[in-house]
Amino acid sequence: MIDKDRPSSWVPFRASLCRGCNADCCAMLLEVTIGDLVRLGVCSQDEAQGSHKKLFKRLRREKIAMSYREGTGLFMLQSKSNGDCQFLNSTTRLCTVYEKRPDVCRKFPSIGPRPTYCPASRQRA
């Protein structure tokens, strides 16, 4: 049985798996770059060029980001209480910011916990 938290249970990715899937790949922790935050429209170019620590404080206050790692410059986005990405539509299981989605989402599953494998569970009833 496929378990999104157990990559050893994932299956080799093929595009047809995406049709009707539960978007479990959108229910994993999501780290994004400052460029992703600008594209998503949650920070301005000016903020991006300023202090990232200060920016993180605002993003945390607004429940957009939950952590920031200075070493990598990556921001961990805040998830919904059920673990879904904040940009995932809970009913349709579709991304609401698809055209502006972070690079890591564009590259999945080429990168991720188990490259080229997918947690392809079916859509919830």
Binding site for ligand SF4 (CB under 6 A): 26, 30, 85, 87-88, 95, 97, 101-102, 105
Positive or negative, the CA dihedral 73, 37, 90, 67 is positive
In the bound state with ligand SF4, the residue whose beta carbon lies nearer, of 70 and 99, is: 99
In the bound state with ligand SF4, the residue whose beta carbon lies nearer, of 26 and 37, is: 26
- Smallest gap, in angstroms, from Cβ of residue 64 to ligand SF4? 12
- Smallest gap, in angstroms, from Cβ of residue 36 to ligand SF4? 9
Residue 90 gets which letter from DSSP? Answer: T
Q: How far apart are CA 52 and CA 66, in angstroms?
A: 13
Neighbouring residues of 19: CB distance < 8 A, sequence distance ≥ 6: none
In the bound state with ligand SF4, the residue whose beta carbon lies nearer, of 30 and 37, is: 30
